Structure 1
Amino acid sequence: MRVCVGTTVHHPEDARITHRQIRALLDSGHEVTFVAPFSHCNVTPRQGIRAVDVPRAVGLRRGKALRAAASALRTAARDADLLLVHDIELLLALPRRRPPTVWDVHEDTIAALGAKTYLPGPVRSVLPPLIRAIESRAERRVHLMLAEESYRARFPGAHPVVPDHTYVPPAPPAPPGDNRIVHVGHISLARGAAEMVEVARRLRPYGIRLDLIGPADAEVRPMLRDAQRAGLLDWFGYVPNNHALRMAEGALAGLSLLHDVPNHRHSMPTKIIEYMARGVPVVTTPLPMAASLVERAGCGTIVPFGEVGEVADAVVRSVLRLREDAERRAEMGARGHAEALNHYHWPAVAGEFVALLERWAQAPDTVPALSPSRTVPA
């Protein structure tokens, strides 16, 4: 099977797209053409794929990226058996003549608008009905694959869920250490950037350092750079997922300090599963799915939502308790690893994912595409 995979929004080393889905397709002997912003992200395409470079869609100016993606997909999909896109924008750039097409729904697009601080107020009010119209039309015209069970509420049809699991080492990693905490993943105000800087400040006298591993929104980068210059933390920027998780191993705790906003409220933070997979105790805010998993597995502690100082206070207390009790943190790490291996190991579902695409590739699909130049009726 020849699969064309496309994104202009996500990083070419995105964990779900590249390290899970594309790897699963390659491991099954399929051919992959990957349309992605390699140059923008300074990424060298991995061996085994046919790479097509396009601009990255960033902020409000996305027209150039969308036009380039439309051209690239039109060419790349000519000899493909299946087209798999990962951005809602690419539903506007699909070629009119194309193979069976799949949209992998990564997030609640409307709920995510609240975190896009670059959007002017008037645009925020216009986008929700437009997004609903695009999603409704997509459900009628392409196959949908959901990353979360909670996304089912947005779509009346029955669509398969391909969960965002991770690779879990078969053997338990080394026990957690006592002088370093980590955060893996995107960094923004809504993901606890200010709280983590304050935590780093308060833990410095105890000799405990914070490693931030992931890209950051523009509005928080100055704060992170200042904290790094002050010696409070190390911010590594974007690191490919497999390397980032190896860097997390041996940490005293992994932080997930997401705020209680619509885009986070009903989702499972992937970073929590990744910490568990690497034997790292979790410290999380009480989002329902995150709190339920951590409590059930006994693999971490839950801190309340609140003002920056209040959250930082609770995190510092949790971290210091963990440092004082090596046996407790080792047990938490071991329980988390066992839970992740038994229930969240990506290879356990990778075969089902590939089989799903193979079935869809055999289905006729002559549905016309949305045109980038047309306005979708609200």
Structure 2
Amino acid sequence: MRVLVCTVRHHPEDARVLHRQIRAMLDAGHSVTYAAPFRAWHVTPWRQLTPVDVPRAGGRGALSVLRAVRRALAEHVPYCDVLLLHDPELTVALPRAARRKAVVVDVHEAPAGFGLPGAMSRYVRARAGRRHRLVLASPEYRAEFGDGHPVVPDVPEVSAVPPAEPDDRRVVHVGRLSAAGGALEVIEMAGRLADKGVAVELIGGADPRVRPALRAAQRSGALRWYGFVPYDRAMRIAEGAMAGLALPPGSGHAPQGVPVKVMDYMAHGIPVVASAVPAVAELVGDERCGLVVPPGDVEAALAAVLRLRDEKGLRARLGRRAYETARERFDGAAEGDRFVRMLEEAAGVREPARA
């Protein structure tokens, strides 16, 4: 099967796009042409891919981005069996040749951020849901698109080799940094933890609203901010930390599902310190895979981290149980295979023999 993958909104090394889905396609023996903003992000594509450079959403006007994507798709769509779009807004840029192809739209981002006016963005996304096959990253998107679309969640592959035991020196936050995701609370914690000899490492891109506070905290030595780091390297940096943070500040911002970062922490044996939203509390428990705290309560989160620092037996037990639970409950390889089978079905092709 020949797959043409396109995104302008996501980083070319996005964990779901590249490290989970494209990796699964390549492992299944399929060929992949990948259209993404490589130059805008200064990324060298994997050599197994046929890369196509397109503009980044937000870097230019939305209409000029859509025109550039339309030209790229018009050139490459005739040679693919299925077109996989990671931005529903790109469905308005489909060339005439796409009418004869299977088009699948993978939804894993809220409407804001593409650059289209709000009403137009909502219309385009609703239109994509009516006209094309959708795959949703979370049941939360059913509120926007309805119940008739399959969900392929982001879950990690969990190594059979147990990870290193948590240390007593570092706390990590992996993933996009935003006010809605608790970044401002994490920054506040970092300053206070630095005074107690605990390093805070933030691994991920940041929304414009929180960047000034991040830069100020980094200049003061309160934290280390890596910026965006590809998934595999990000988790190598994080492994061995005494706590992984997931602290959305309140019920108005709290996700209904389990944040991907929580599952990633568990898969790497990192005790979780998380806001006690229902899905996370059910998975992590209190003193099972980590410690849960009231949403927005910086004092409670700080106390949880210091407790993990001071109680070696507790953090070792939580890290071990987090990894064991991840081994029992998460199967990223199986979800990747299921996604590839959906593409094969959409394209109407026979699957190649898998190794």
Regarding TM over 0.5, the answer is yes
CA positional deviation for 1:261: 6.3
Which among 105, 108, 126 is matched to residue 107 of structure 2?
Answer: 105
- Farther-moved stretch of structure 1 (263-272 vs 193-202): 263-272
Which among 296, 306, 314 is matched to residue 320 of structure 1?
Answer: 306
Structure 2 gaps of 5+ residues are 350-355
The answer to whether 1:346 aligns with 2:332 is yes
| Distance in 2, Cα, partners of 1:96 & 1:41 | 29
Correspondence 1:95-134 to 2 at 5 A: 95-98=95-98, 99-109=101-111, 113=112, 127=118, 129-134=119-124
Letter in 1 for 2:16: R
| Distance in 2, Cα, partners of 1:149 & 1:20 | 19
CA positional deviation for 1:244: 0.2
The answer to whether 1:18 aligns with 2:18 is yes
Structure 1 gaps of 5+ residues are 364-378
Contact 2:37–2:53 (Cα < 8 Å) also in 1: yes
Please give the per-residue CA displacement for 1:269-300, whole angstroms capped at 9, x wherever unaligned. 10000000110011111222222211189211
Letter in 2 for 1:222: P
CA positional deviation for 1:60: 8.2
Contact 1:139–1:157 (Cα < 8 Å) also in 2: no
Secondary structure at the aligned position of 1:212 is classed as strand
| Distance in 2, Cα, partners of 1:136 & 1:187 | 28
Contact 1:108–1:263 (Cα < 8 Å) also in 2: no
Letter in 1 for 2:333: P
| Distance in 2, Cα, partners of 1:252 & 1:329 | 7
CA positional deviation for 1:135: 3.4
- Please name the residue that 1:371 is paired with: none
Contact 1:297–1:335 (Cα < 8 Å) also in 2: no
| Distance in 1, Cα, partners of 2:251 & 2:285 | 21
| Distance in 2, Cα, partners of 1:68 & 1:263 | 35
| Distance in 2, Cα, partners of 1:78 & 1:70 | 13
- Farther-moved stretch of structure 1 (154-163 vs 336-345): 154-163
CA positional deviation for 1:170: 1.2
- Please name the residue that 1:259 is paired with: 249
| Distance in 2, Cα, partners of 1:297 & 1:84 | 41
CA positional deviation for 1:238: 0.9
| Distance in 1, Cα, partners of 2:190 & 2:145 | 42
- Farther-moved stretch of structure 1 (268-277 vs 100-109): 100-109
Contact 2:164–2:239 (Cα < 8 Å) also in 1: yes
RMSD in angstroms over aligned alpha carbons?
Answer: 2.1
- Please name the residue that 1:165 is paired with: 155
- Percent same amino acid among aligned pairs? 46
Equivalenced residues, count: 347
Letter in 2 for 1:349: E
Correspondence 1:1-378 to 2 at 5 A: 1-58=1-58, 61-98=61-98, 99-109=101-111, 113=112, 127=118, 129-156=119-146, 158-260=148-250, 264-295=254-285, 298-306=288-296, 311-362=297-348
Secondary structure at the aligned position of 2:39 is classed as coil
Contact 1:265–1:288 (Cα < 8 Å) also in 2: no
Contact 2:89–2:121 (Cα < 8 Å) also in 1: no
Please give the per-residue CA displacement for 1:117-172, whole angstroms capped at 9, x wherever unaligned. x99xxx9xx72x54443333223321111111232343345221111111212121
| Distance in 2, Cα, partners of 1:42 & 1:188 | 23
CA positional deviation for 1:18: 0.1
Contact 1:256–1:282 (Cα < 8 Å) also in 2: yes
Secondary structure at the aligned position of 2:180 is classed as helix
Please give the per-residue CA displacement for 1:277-334, whole angstroms capped at 9, x wherever unaligned. 110011111222222211189211112123xxxx221111001111121111111111
- Please name the residue that 1:373 is paired with: none
Contact 2:171–2:242 (Cα < 8 Å) also in 1: yes
Letter in 1 for 2:55: P
| Distance in 2, Cα, partners of 1:146 & 1:153 | 11
